[in-house]
Amino acid sequence: MASCPSCGRPVAVARATCLYCGHPLGSGRVTAAPGPAEAAATPEAAPPRRLVVLDLGDASPATVARALGVPPYEAGLLARRGGLHLHRILDPSAAEAEAARLGAEGLAAILVPEVEARVRPVRATGGERSEGALVLRTEEGSLIVRDEDLLLIVRGPIARRYRPPFKRRRVETATLEDGYRVHLHRRAEPRPVEIDAASFEVGFAVTGSTRLELDAWVGSVAPRVPRDDAFRRLPPALGPAQPEPRGPLAAAASLGRGAGEGADDGEDSVLLLDNAEQFRFYSGWRAAVERRR
pLDDT digits (tens, 9 = 90+) for 180-225: 999 999 999 999 999 999 999 987 666 678 899 999 999 999 999 9
CATH of 50-117, one of 3.30.360.10, 3.40.50.261, 3.40.50.10070, 3.30.1390.10: 3.30.1390.10
Q: Give me the pLDDT at residue 163, please.
A: 79
Bridge-based pairing state of the strands 179-186 and 227-228: unpaired
Rounded mean pLDDT, 253-259: 46
d(CA 211, CA 265): 36
Q: Give me the pLDDT at residue 130, please.
A: 86
Give φ, ψ of 77 to 5 degrees.
-65, -45
Residue 6, pLDDT > 60, answer no
d(CA 225, CA 72): 35
Q: Give me the pLDDT at residue 293, please.
A: 84
Residue 237, pLDDT > 50, answer yes
Per-residue confidence band for 39, with pLDDT thresholds at 50, 70 and 90: very low
Q: Give me the pLDDT at residue 256, please.
A: 45
d(CA 16, CA 34): 21
Q: Give me the pLDDT at residue 268, please.
A: 47
Rounded mean pLDDT, 34-53: 68
Q: Give me the pLDDT at residue 289, please.
A: 97
Residue 227, pLDDT > 80, answer yes
Q: Are 62 and 75 in contact (CB under 8 A)?
A: yes
Q: Are 289 and 53 in contact (CB under 8 A)?
A: yes
Q: Locate CATH 3.30.1390.10 in the chain.
A: 50-117
Q: For 81-131, what is each residue's pLDDT tens digit?
A: 999 999 999 999 999 999 999 999 999 999 999 999 999 999 999 999 888
Q: Are 92 and 50 in contact (CB under 8 A)?
A: yes
Per-residue confidence band for 132, with pLDDT thresholds at 50, 70 and 90: confident
Q: For 87-100, what is each residue's pLDDT tens digit?
A: 999 999 999 999 99
The residue with greater pLDDT, 290 or 261, is 290
